[in-house]
A = this chain, B = another copy of it.
Amino acid sequence: MKIVRDATLHQRILGDIEARIVSGEWPPGHRIPFEVDLAADYNCSRMTANKVLTQLAKSGLIERRKKSGSFVAQPRAQSAVLAIAEIEAEVQSLRLSYSHIVHARSKRRANAADKQRLELSEAASVLDITCIHQAGAAPFCLEERLISLATVPEAEAETFDTVSPGTWLLKRVPWSAAENRISAVSAGASVAILLDIEKGTACLVIERRTWSPAGPVTSVRLTYPGDRHALVAKFAPGGEG
């Protein structure tokens, strides 16, 4: 049994409804009491009931239809929140010391492959950086990054010796949109050497592309040896978990 101390009315109503949905007492398709009825049940105003139901609808737990009422939604795709931490924080949470090594860094005019990775239309300069993130003395993750100098010209002056490109960009271009693609690949010869693993080892690969309103920012490929790392994504009907 969950104990709620000092819950506001809003939280109490929200919790009660969530509990009934999650427990199966109100299965998908079941009609939830109308706002006016809820208001009467809890002896509150309709606005309060409305805000609760609006929030439930935003979190996807219920669907609302004018004139018909509110209904428990069909759970569709299992959608979960994936927290991708900064690599430095990740390493430190393993109680290992973090460092990074810039293995290669070059500027060039974008070739066809670069344009596709960054979704660039016109010709532009890009910065190509390869760097290795270390946990203790061992390689932890390989980072292969492309930065669009049209969007982030300040990057050209940066060596990334003291700050890793990811951290630097996060400070420079906060709150941009991103798309992550997660897959598994076998380590090729060059990757195997850089990560100090055997060729063919299964690796978890995250390819992230980031945009700001000014245009494409960066495209990064993070390669983790599969036996050393896993991503965790959680889902809780209420929202946070």
Contact = CB atoms under 8 A, between A and B. Distances in A.
Interface of A: 19, 21-24, 27-28, 61, 72, 74-75, 77-86, 89, 170, 173-186, 200-205, 208, 212-214, 224, 226-227, 229-237, 241
A232 B23 contact: no
5 contacts: A75-B175, A79-B83, A178-B234, A182-B230, A186-B226
B203 A200 contact: no
A23 to B, nearest CB: 5
Contacts of A72: 174-175
A226 B170 contact: no
Given A181-B231, A182-B230, A182-B231, 11 more contacts: A21-B175, A22-B213, A78-B85, A78-B178, A79-B83, A81-B81, A177-B235, A181-B230, A182-B182, A184-B204, A186-B226
